[in-house]
Amino acid sequence: MANYVTISCLGPRPLAVPADVSDEEAIARMIRHWESQLDQVLPDRPDLIVLPEACDRPDPLGFPLARRLDYYRARKDRIRDFFADVARRHGCYIAYPTHAETEDGMWLNHMQLIDRSGGVAGAYIKNHLTPDEYAKTNILYGGEAPIFECDFGRVAGAICFDLNFDELLRRYAAAKPDLILFPSMYHGGLMQGYWAYACRSYFAGAVAGAPCTIVTPLGEVAASSTNYYSFITSRVNLDYVVLHIDENGAKFADIKRKYGRDVVIHDPGYLGCVLMTSESEDFTADDIVAEFELELLDDYFARSERSRQEPGRMAT
C-alpha cells in the first residue's frame, strides 16, 4: 500500500559565533539559528527532518578547538533537548548529528535519531573518520551499522567521509534499508546515487553549504536544494521494489492494464531496471510481485551468478 513519507533536509552553512562570547550566549545563538531554519520546513509537516553533520558546532574558522570543547561541555544535551521538543510538538522524527563527549573524555561524531515523541530511538556513530578527527580531536571510530525501525520504514545512517568506504556500503546493501540518512559537510557527488542504487534505498542528504538531496533507489536525484535556498522538502513513496526489465518487462503491460494509475513503473533509462511503486490503499508492491511472479533485481543478479558458477560453463 502506498507509504508516503515527507522528508525535509536542511543544509545551511555552519553558524558563525565569535569565540569571545560566553558559552550561554553561544548556545542561545545556536538554538535561535535552528529555530529560524526549522521554520522554513515545519509548515510542510515533515515526517522526518535531517540536519547536517555536527549541526550545532559553531563555524570552526572562528571558533577554535579548545573553545569548542568548552562550549560542548556547557551545552551538554540542551540543544538535543530543544530538537526533541520540536519533534514532540510537531510529531516528526529529527536526525540530530552532533559531537558528544564520552565518560572517559573521548568524543563521538554521531547522529541521534529523535522519534515523534521526543525520545531517542538510537544513534549511529560515524564509522570512517578523517585521520585528523581522531588524531587532533580524540573522536572515536564507530563500528556498528544499525538499522532504525521507524513507523514508516527501516532507516540507516552514514556521515560525511563514510560515503567513501565500501565496507559500510556492503553492510547496508545486505540490510536493504528503505532510507539512508546522510548528514555531512561533504556532498559526495556521484557517490550519493551509487549508494542509493547499491542499497536499493532512498537517500536523504543534508549537507552544510552544499545542495541537499533526495535520491531514489535507482540513483536519480528526485529533489535538490539550490543556491538560493539551503533546504528541501520532498514526499516519497516507500512502498516500492526494484526490478530488472529482463523477463519481467513482458508483464508490465498486463500490470498497467489491470491496475492503471495504482501502480507506477518508472524506467530511468540505460540501467536496465525499473522502480515499481504501489499507489493503492488495497495492495502493496510486494503483492504485485507475487501476483505476476516478478523477480526482484537482486534475485535476478543472484540467479545469473549461480548460472555462471555451474560446472563446465566457465571459459578457461
Q: How do residues 241-270 score in pLDDT, each as one tens digit?
A: 999 999 999 999 999 999 999 999 999 999
Residue 207 has pLDDT above 90, yes or no: yes
Give the C-alpha separation, 226 to 102, whole Å. 37
Last residue of a domain, which of 180, 204, 237?
237
The residue-averaged pLDDT of 58-68 equals: 96
Helix (H) / strand (E) containing 171: helix 166-175
Residue 128 has pLDDT above 90, yes or no: yes
Query: What pTM was estimated for this model as a whole?
Result: 0.96
The residue-averaged pLDDT of 108-121 equals: 98
Beta bridge partners of 124: 111
Of 94, 111, 117, 118, the residue nearest 42 (C-alpha): 94
Last residue of a domain, which of 237, 257, 281?
237
Residue 159 and residue 232 in one domain = yes
Angle between helices 23-38 and 78-90 (to 10 degrees): 20
Residue 17 and residue 85 in one domain = yes
Residue 214 and residue 161 in one domain = yes
The residue-averaged pLDDT of 59-77 equals: 96
Residue 256 and residue 280 in one domain = yes
Residue 285 has pLDDT above 90, yes or no: yes
Query: Strands 231-237 and 4-10: what pairing?
Result: antiparallel
Residue 154 and residue 289 in one domain = no
Boundaries of domain holding 268: 240-309
Is 224 part of any domain?
Answer: yes
Residue 219 has pLDDT above 90, yes or no: yes
Residue 264 and residue 135 in one domain = no
Helix (H) / strand (E) containing 224: strand 221-224
Is 316 part of any domain?
Answer: no
Cβ atoms of 243 and 230 within 8 Å: the answer is no
Backbone phi and psi for residue 78, each to the nearest 5 degrees, phi listed first: -65, -40
Is 249 part of any domain?
Answer: yes
Residue 256 and residue 219 in one domain = no
Contacts of 15 by beta carbon, 8 Å cutoff, 6+ apart: 29, 30, 33, 58, 59
Is 315 part of any domain?
Answer: no
Last residue of a domain, which of 202, 237, 272?
237
Is 126 part of any domain?
Answer: yes
Is 87 part of any domain?
Answer: yes
Residue 28 and residue 177 in one domain = yes
Residue 250 and residue 202 in one domain = no
Backbone phi and psi for residue 43, each to the nearest 5 degrees, phi listed first: -60, -25
**29-48: per-residue pLDDT in tens?**
999 999 999 999 999 999 99
Give the C-alpha separation, 24 to 40, whole Å. 25
Which residue is listed with cell 492494464?
257
Question: pLDDT-based confidence at 99, cuts 50/70/90?
Answer: very high
Mean of per-residue pLDDT scores for the chain: 97
> What share of the chain in percent tops pLDDT 70?
100
Give the C-alpha separation, 141 to 80, whole Å. 21
**148-181: per-residue pLDDT in tens?**
999 999 999 999 999 999 999 999 999 999 999 9
Residue 223 and residue 244 in one domain = no
Is 128 part of any domain?
Answer: yes
CATH number at residue 175: 3.60.110.10
Residue 215 and residue 192 in one domain = yes
The residue-averaged pLDDT of 266-291 equals: 98
- Residue 11 burial (10 A CB sphere; 0-12, 13-18, 19+): buried
CB half-sphere exposure, 82, CA atoms < 13 A: 18
Give the C-alpha separation, 85 to 98, whole Å. 17
Residue 191 and residue 284 in one domain = no
Number of domains in the chain: 2
